């Protein structure tokens, strides 16, 4: 098991191998397809994103509301392919890794190779487990989208698998 901080991903990306088990800690942006559509609307209008994409990790999830006393509700991954149309541009803007579930398109693979960006897989159906790794969560944009609002979350020891490494090797065949 590799303990990894978000801030260290750019420097350590090429050391990670497809299939490696990782415990990821640090600040992660949580955003799904509705938020990505809004990101592109902002960018196309010449406006800034609601977060700095340089060195960011994006987790494709739409958490449920928190129960009383909890940081967040269930927060399992959504199917990454729904973000494939957006991912190459996000990687071009500096996003250093993505987290979700399922295969990625050839265009995403090309962008990952171009930027040395790994793709981490979270366990589908284990949203309650994932939520136990979130120690802080705040909505930073598009609150009206509800579960698809953009959140800045702080994770501690989020269990992931390197689904596709920075060299293009994949466990998702």
Residue 59 pLDDT exceeds 80 = yes
13 lies in some domain: yes
Number of domains within the chain: 1
Label residue 128 by pLDDT band (50, 70, 90): confident
pLDDT in tens, 21-45: 999 999 999 999 999 999 999 999 9
117 lies in some domain: yes
150 lies in some domain: yes
68 lies in some domain: yes
pTM comes to 0.94
170 lies in some domain: no
**Region for 116 from its dihedrals, namely left if φ exceeds 0, alpha if ψ lies in -120 to 50, beta otherwise:** left
- Rounded to the nearest angstrom, the gap between the alpha carbon of residue 41 and the centroid of all alpha carbons in its chain is 20
45 lies in some domain: yes
Q: Which residue is listed with tokens 């494709």?
A: 60
Q: Can you give the CATH number for the domain in which 16 is found? A: 3.20.130.10
Residue 126 pLDDT exceeds 90 = no
What is the pLDDT of the chain when averaged over all its residues?
A: 94
53 lies in some domain: yes
Domain that holds residue 108: 2-164
């Amino acid at each position: 098991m590799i303990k990894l901080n978000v801030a260290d991903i750019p420097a350590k990306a090429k050391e990670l191998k497809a299939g490696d088990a990782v415990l990821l800690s640090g600040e992660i942006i949580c955003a799904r397809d509705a938020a990505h559509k809004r990101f592109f609307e902002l960018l196309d209008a010449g406006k800034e994103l609601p977060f700095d994409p340089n060195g960011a990790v994006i987790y494709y999830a739409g958490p449920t509301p928190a129960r009383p006393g909890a940081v967040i509700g269930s927060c399992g991954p959504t199917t990454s392919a729904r973000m494939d149309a957006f991912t190459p541009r996000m990687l071009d803007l500096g996003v250093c890794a993505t987290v979700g579930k399922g295969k990625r398109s050839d265009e995403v693979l090309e962008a990952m190779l171009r930027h040395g960006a790994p793709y981490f897989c979270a366990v589908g159906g284990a949203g309650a487990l994932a939520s136990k790794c979130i120690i802080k969560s705040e909505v930073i944009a598009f609150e009206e989208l509800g579960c698809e609002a953009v959140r800045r979350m702080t994770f501690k020891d989020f269990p992931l698998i390197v689904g596709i490494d920075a060299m293009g090797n994949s466990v998702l065949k």
